[in-house]
Amino acid sequence: MILWDEYEQVIGIAHAGWQGVLDDIVAETADMIEEYGGRNYRFKAHIGPSIRACCYDIFGDRQRLFEEKFPAHSSEIIHEHDGEHTLDLVACVRLQLREVGVTDERITIHPDCTSCRAEKYDSYHRDGKTYTQLISSVWIE
């Protein structure tokens, strides 16, 4: 997840995986940007390629943690596919971005699921520990 205030030229980049989302990485990133003069009413955000609800199976304790973290939004973030529950991590990040003041029109989302697109991305969830890393770069002109 990339979060920035173009006016102040402050950028924050964070890995918003399941643990980061549960630990409020979006709010922490927003707080750090504000420490450098950024203002949430100017924030823009981008969610990069990531595993999507179509592939991110979730169960047991992890599912319970997300239901507790987002009690009013369980039906938005937990989906059922073929009798299995999946997590919409992008929806979780979007909810947290809204909580820090980023409106939907200032959020862009890359369409790719890293698990579905094996020809383009490695995926820890799909491939296990035999994965490479995805790198993002960002700048303000």
pLDDT in tens, 37-60: 999 999 999 999 988 898 888 988
136 domain residue, yes or no? no
By the 8 A CB rule, do 56 and 89 touch?
yes
86 domain residue, yes or no? yes
Q: Is the pTM of this model over 0.75?
A: yes
The CA distances from residue 57 to 1, 47, 78, 128, in Å, are 21, 20, 9, 14
Residue with tokens 């927003």: 30
pLDDT in tens, 63-102: 999 999 999 999 999 998 788 899 999 999 999 999 999 9
- Evaluate if residue 118 carries a pLDDT over 90: no
Q: The domain that contains 67 carries what CATH number?
A: 3.60.140.10
Which range of residues forms the domain containing residue 91? Answer: 2-126
Q: How many CB atoms lie within 10 A of CB 83?
A: 5
How does residue 115 score in pLDDT terms, banded at 50, 70 and 90? confident
**Domains identified in the chain, total number:** 1
Q: Between the CA atoms of 68, 14, 123 and 86, what dihedral angle is there, to the nearest 10 degrees?
A: 20
By the 8 A CB rule, do 110 and 46 touch?
yes
By the 8 A CB rule, do 45 and 107 touch?
yes
